[in-house]
Structure 1
Amino acid sequence: MNRQSIISLLLCVLFFLSLAAGCTDTGTNAVGGEHPQQADISGALAGSADRLTIEKAPVRESVAVQTIVPVAGQPTVTQVFETKFERKTYTVEVEVNGSVYAGARSVDKGLPAGAGWNDPTVMTAYYRRFIDDPAMTIFFDDMARGLRAVKAREGLNDGEYLEFLITFVQQIPYDPNAPAHPRYPVEVVRDRTGDCDEKSLLLLGLLAHEGYDTAFILFPDEHHAAAGIRISTGGTPSFRVFEGPETGKYFYIESTEPTYIGLYTEPFGSAEAVVVPIGDGTGRFNRVNYISRITGTYQKIEERLPFMHDRMEEWEDEIREMERKLTGGTYESRAEWDRDHQAYLKLIDEHNDYVEKYNTYLEVYHYIAEHPYDIEGVYRHIDNSGVEDIRI
């Protein structure tokens, strides 16, 4: 395979690499029965810089829901998870209370009679039951012990711990065959799998339990609920920031697989949203400028790669034509041949310099796509690569 074919193949492979996988129920699936759709950074961000009007939904106290009744005598099960974070893989042990798990499994998780997505307050109350249930406090206390052990052992600060918690949940396998209605967070961890809504609920409850300012982001028309994390000011993201009255600004968190904090798939960049803060935590996501730089660099490279690829092909055609002339053409003098030969060598040098720039772009593009669980490392990699200094 020649170099042009290899370059083309790499481009095709990277074109289909996605940085985010999202899922939505458009009305044809039951709540919690969504399936993921892939999207790359550009697809997730395109045309989404404007902030839309978003409503804050009060919780309707009168919505009746069942609560978990723990089943006595059930054994505790320890689940072990391997989580990639930054440059290491961590082992996390989570003790799952068997009594709480058995009780959660027996609860009727269906929507209350007459409830539907046309009333966001009802849907908010419906989803909150999965993390506000008193039995979930037992579960989140148990779960936090294993995660805090990693924080203490590795000396993670609060910002790093937040990113670790998010990627931990993202790396729990996605369940394409999830039940019609969401499982409780204790079930997701015990079953070691969950769909969009289920993993979002787990993440929301975990972040709130650990003191972070988090929120439901509900999309009534899409029948979808996601997790959000409040951000500190800094950086200028090219994608949507979710903001509601008196609630601050929140980044969307994709829960299905490792994805950069803030990125989402369409139609969530333009869909009507309802932001509902959860808990009373104060911790925020502070690396907005990191995400802005990473996604901005990715977009810039993605826009340039096709142009550079076409330019190199044009050069290579020109080089081959010059080679044919130099080796088989007719010249009236040695000086004329020398002039063409010098032009040929100059073109080779320019082409090779361009190839080097292209390869740098390609390597950084690939690195960004494959390391959403290492925001700090990707930021440093961009610095060290010199990719921002490239001129074409």
Structure 2
Amino acid sequence: MQRTEKSLAFIIIVLFAAALAAGYQYTRQSVVVPHIAVGIEQSAPVNATSTFLFEKSRITISVPVDSAVYYAAKSTDKSVSIYGNVSESVWVTDSYLEMVNDPAQDRMYSDLLTQFRKIRDDEGLSSDEYLELMAAYTQSLTYETTPDNPTKYPVETVVEGAGDCDDKSVLLAGLLSREGYKVALLAFTPESHMALGVGSTGSLYKDTGYAYIETTNLSYVGIPPDELAGGVVLTSEPLVIPVGNGTILYSSGAETAYIHDMSTISGQKVTTLNAQLAPIASDLTAKQDQIAQLESRMQALRISGNIGGYNALVSSHNAQVSAYNAELSTYRGEVAQGNAYADVYNYIITHAYNRKGTYEWVKANMPA
């Protein structure tokens, strides 16, 4: 479940429908977006460090970020000026693309990607695993949002190690697009949510042409959340904002779809078995009480010397114990099956940083 997001209207819109000073109709249409204006003063770098899980390792990424760039980005007025009759999709697209690609952040991107590439080369990661590495880094950054806060530049998110849906999606878009992946921001305006889309050979989200990546927490590529915080469900068609000209596609969508299907099945099995086991457990408790009462009577008869009365109850006692043991055996078998499904479900939700390993584990451990 995701947390409630701040509004995606991260900018102040200034409309100029007419050139007031001249007194005539203004016909030119354009969008003026903000830029990071870095001063010439020298400043010490800010060390941005993040540690996260990926596959079988704990990864630490640490980059020195020019503090002048960071503070300039943080103090930038993120307003947008709109001249003429410009559609919302146009100015929103222009605004986000500027956030992703402002050249003042090029060094930060370069330093981050140098470290990611080293991990890729040292570990022999595939193209899909390399994408998942950068996704795990972004998803692992602290989720943090405040009402009416403007979207952060990626350099702000990196230095602060925190952001919300649009902050983290913008950062991941910048990383993946620079590595040649086909990516797009997915803006869900009615739900005030943003995710990332990646070109994929499967598991495409609605009619976007992209597989869905949730950036607010660890999750598998191609698997959208069932709901956001507060029970909000993504039902709108997102505005698709392509970022860069990458062509590399994600090709493990079939594996993440399998993982998701097994998660759904195992979760449903656990719920169903719990419902079935509750009355059985109650019946077993009742049978235990009946057997205990019968044994108390038999013990009293034996102590009193009434062996005939004692022997008369032995057959009934044995029948009750036999029925109890048969039902207990069935109960234990179903509990074991429920536990096996629960193990699969829990493994899947706690290993979203390791698609490759999770796929192999689930195939080996999913109950038949």
- Structure 2, unmatched stretches of 5+, are 12-27, 298-310
| Residues 165 and 216, structure 2, Cα contact 8 Å, conserved in 1 | yes
Query: Residues 9-31 of structure 1, C-alpha deviation per residue, up to 9 Å, x if partnerless?
Result: xxxxxxxxxxx425434x6x852
Post-superposition offset of 1:271: 0.6
Post-superposition offset of 1:336: 4.7
Query: Residues 309-328 of structure 1, C-alpha deviation per residue, up to 9 Å, x if partnerless?
Result: 23222222222333334343
* Match for residue 295 of structure 1 among 225, 246, 260: 260
> Distance between the aligned counterparts of 1:269 and 1:133, measured in 2?
30
What is aligned with 1:21? 2
What is aligned with 2:174? 205
> Distance between the aligned counterparts of 2:278 and 2:186, measured in 1?
46
> Distance between the aligned counterparts of 1:191 and 1:327, measured in 2?
64
What is aligned with 2:214? 254
| Residues matched between the structures, number | 331
* Pairing 1:308–2:273 present: yes
Post-superposition offset of 1:191: 1.9
> Distance between the aligned counterparts of 1:124 and 1:224, measured in 2?
15
What is aligned with 1:274? 239
**Secondary structure of 1:69's aligned partner:** coil
> Distance between the aligned counterparts of 2:320 and 2:52, measured in 1?
58
> Which shifted more, 161-170 or 352-361?
352-361
* Match for residue 175 of structure 1 among 144, 153, 159: 144
Note closer, same or farther for the CA distance 1:188–1:356 as it changes in structure 2 (3 Å cut). same
Post-superposition offset of 1:118: 6.6
Post-superposition offset of 1:86: 1.4
Post-superposition offset of 1:268: 5.6
Query: Residues 89-121 of structure 1, C-alpha deviation per residue, up to 9 Å, x if partnerless?
Result: 011122312332233234211233589997111
* Pairing 1:382–2:347 present: no
* Pairing 1:121–2:90 present: yes
> Matches of residues 81-230 of structure 1 in structure 2 within 5 Å?
81-113=50-82, 119-177=88-146, 180-230=149-199
Post-superposition offset of 1:88: 1.4
What is aligned with 1:241? 205
* Pairing 1:263–2:224 present: yes
**Secondary structure of 1:243's aligned partner:** coil
| Residues 226 and 252, structure 1, Cα contact 8 Å, conserved in 2 | yes
| Residues 229 and 284, structure 1, Cα contact 8 Å, conserved in 2 | yes
> Which shifted more, 95-104 or 367-376?
95-104
What is aligned with 1:35? none
**Secondary structure of 1:380's aligned partner:** helix
| Residues 183 and 196, structure 2, Cα contact 8 Å, conserved in 1 | yes
**Secondary structure of 2:141's aligned partner:** coil
**Secondary structure of 2:144's aligned partner:** coil
| Residues 5 and 145, structure 2, Cα contact 8 Å, conserved in 1 | no
- Structure 1, unmatched stretches of 5+, are 1-19, 33-59
What is aligned with 2:332? 352
| Residues 197 and 213, structure 2, Cα contact 8 Å, conserved in 1 | yes
> Which shifted more, 147-156 or 172-181?
172-181
**Secondary structure of 2:136's aligned partner:** helix
| Residues 218 and 226, structure 1, Cα contact 8 Å, conserved in 2 | yes
* Pairing 1:63–2:31 present: yes
> Matches of residues 318-329 of structure 1 in structure 2 within 5 Å?
318-329=283-294
> Distance between the aligned counterparts of 1:152 and 1:181, measured in 2?
37
What is aligned with 2:47? 78
> Distance between the aligned counterparts of 1:93 and 1:173, measured in 2?
16
What is aligned with 1:15? none
Q: How much identity, in percent, do the aligned residues show?
A: 26
Note closer, same or farther for the CA distance 1:337–1:225 as it changes in structure 2 (3 Å cut). closer
Note closer, same or farther for the CA distance 1:334–1:152 as it changes in structure 2 (3 Å cut). same
Post-superposition offset of 1:194: 1.5
**Secondary structure of 1:221's aligned partner:** coil
Q: TM-score, normalised by structure 2?
A: 0.81
Question: Amino acid of the residue matched to residue 71 of structure 1?
Answer: G
* Match for residue 286 of structure 1 among 241, 251, 255: 251
> Distance between the aligned counterparts of 2:85 and 2:59, measured in 1?
40
> Distance between the aligned counterparts of 1:289 and 1:377, measured in 2?
14
> Distance between the aligned counterparts of 2:233 and 2:151, measured in 1?
20
| Residues 170 and 256, structure 1, Cα contact 8 Å, conserved in 2 | yes
Note closer, same or farther for the CA distance 1:172–1:61 as it changes in structure 2 (3 Å cut). farther
> Distance between the aligned counterparts of 2:75 and 2:290, measured in 1?
81
> Distance between the aligned counterparts of 2:85 and 2:196, measured in 1?
20
> Distance between the aligned counterparts of 1:116 and 1:344, measured in 2?
78
Note closer, same or farther for the CA distance 1:356–1:198 as it changes in structure 2 (3 Å cut). same
| Residues 31 and 82, structure 2, Cα contact 8 Å, conserved in 1 | no
Larger of the two Rg values belongs to structure: 2
